[in-house]
Structures are given as structure tokens and as C-alpha cells.
Amino acid sequence: MKTLEKHPAIMIVIGILGISFSAIFVKYSKGPSLLTAGYRLFFTSILLTPVVLGKKKYRKELFQVSIHDILLCAMSGIFLALHFVFWFESLTHTSVASSTAIVCTEVIWVALGYRFFLKGHLSKLAILSITISFLGSILIGASDYHMTGVHLYGDLLALAAAVFVAVYTLIGGVIRKHMTTNVYTYIVYFFCSISLLITILIRNISFLGYGISPIIVGILLSVFSTILGHSIFSWCLKYFSPAFVSASKLCEPFVASFFALFLFQEIPGILQIVGGVITVGGVLLYSYIEIKKEA
């Protein structure tokens, strides 16, 4: 663990690989997006329970968490649940390439949240990078609208998912400064799974009415995309800024699109490719600004 603390960039790489499989796994689920997300967080909570409750230091920290931090974790969990549901649903309406590229604008929403809610500062170059990313997203939307209006609806869902996960990241950046990764993620995932469960029950969705695929996909997502993805990024928030952690996820659209090309024959159009490159380019520019600021 000391080696990882000295070289936290290693964990960033593992996290990128973990989240890059998310869109691929979701495509194989035959159940509603809400149900798939529910299984994901349910299995994640089960896997984390022995880790947190099995060690004295984590149990002690868990029972000493303040009401204020619990409320923040609950809010973080709710926004994470919204992110999963909206993003999973977007993948049923648009391509992996479009959805993942738009979701990666999370860093832009993190930057805006940092500026307006955490009283941070955005340079003119940062504002330019935000503008570039928005233009790229518009091109993706224009391309998908030309193909079919349903794809544009998927793009809008992905955009909403990006905003929701940005809120989750910003809250994590505040709490992780004084809370361990395991305890923080355990509480957040607990509230996330509870909020999803309640919504599933309210909407009267059958847990077993869609075959075994949502369950299998939920397990795969919990292990590879949550434990080896989101949890690792939460761990990295102690060593990097929220904006940098968000920016590091930019490899996801390229890795996910590569697999989607071979597995689902999703071949992006020219305008879609140009829009994706511009969107990611704008976020990369902002990432460069953040790296120089931290150096």
C-alpha cells in the first residue's frame, strides 16, 4: 500500500481500465436500467461489508462518523444513483462512443461546481476549454439527431448523467480529506443502493422478471467498474484534485468505443468522431491547466 501511496498514478490507470468496461457490460443487460444499477450497488455493498466491518480501524471510524458527514455521503449516494440510472438508460438509446464522450464532460461540470459552489477560480484558458467541450457535445448531438432523434435523447441522458456524477465527485473531494476510502465509499454505496431499491419498489419493477442477465451484469459492474473503478478514483481524491481525477477518466471513451466497435459493430460517423475528439480535447486542455496548477 505504501508503494501505491508513493505512486498513486498506478491506481489512476487501474481505475481507467475498470470504468472502461462499464458501457460494455451494460449493453448485455436485458433488464431496465434502474434494475441493473440496483444490482450493481447491491453486490458492491455486499463485497465491501466484510472489508469495512472486518477491520477494527474501519469499524471505529464508521461508528464515529458525524451526522454532517453522513448527510453529505447520503447526498453523494443519491447523485451517484441518478448518474447510474441516467447513463445506463442513455446506452439503450445512443452509441457507446457518444454516451461515454458526453459523460466525460463531468470534469467540466466539476470545474463549474468548483467555481460557483466551492468559490474556486477559473482562468480564461479554463473557460475556453469548457466552451470547446460544449461545442464538441453539440456536434455529437447534431450527428446523432441526423441519424435519429432517439440517439439525441440518449445524448441528453448522458449529459444529465455527467452533471450528477460531477456532484458526487465534488462532495467526495470534500469528505475524502478526512475520511478513509473504504468507509466513505461504503456509506455512499449504501445510500446509493437504498435509493435505487426504494425507486425499484415504487415503480413495481420485478427483480427476477428479466432473466439472469441483469444479475450477472450487476456482479461484473460491481467488481470491475465500481470496486476497481469508482472506489479507486475515490481513493485518489486524497492525492489529486477532483478536477484531475475526473480528467483522468478521459481514456474511457476510446477504450469503450474500441470494444464496442468489435462487439456491437458500432461504427461512429465522421461528425460524431469530430465531435468526440473536440469534446475530449476541450477536457484534455482543462486537465493540462489543472496539472500545471498542481505542479
Is position 143 within any domain?
yes
Does some domain include residue 2? no
Assigned domain for 265 exists? yes
Whole-structure pTM value: 0.80
Is the pLDDT assigned to residue 107 strictly greater than 90?
no
Residue 142 has pLDDT above 90, yes or no: no
Structural domain boundaries enclosing 117: 7-294
Q: Tell me how far apart the alpha carbons of residues 288 and 69 are, in angstroms, rounded to a whole number.
A: 32
pLDDT in tens, 39-75: 999 999 998 899 899 989 999 999 999 999 999 999 9
Q: Is the pLDDT of residue 145 over 60?
A: no
Assigned domain for 46 exists: yes
Per-residue pLDDT, averaged over 141-168, amounts to 79
Across the range 72-100, mean pLDDT stands at 90
- Condensed to tens digits (0 to 9), the pLDDT of residues 225-239 reads 888 887 788 778 777
Give pLDDT, residue 36: 94
Task: Indicate whether 251 belongs to any domain.
Answer: yes
pLDDT-derived band at 197, boundaries 50, 70, 90 = very high
Distance CA 177, CA 180 (A): 8
Count of domains for the chain:
1
Give residue 233's pLDDT: 81
Domain assignment present for residue 1? The answer is: no
Higher-scoring residue by pLDDT: 54, 263: 54
Structure confidence at residue 274 (pLDDT) = 80
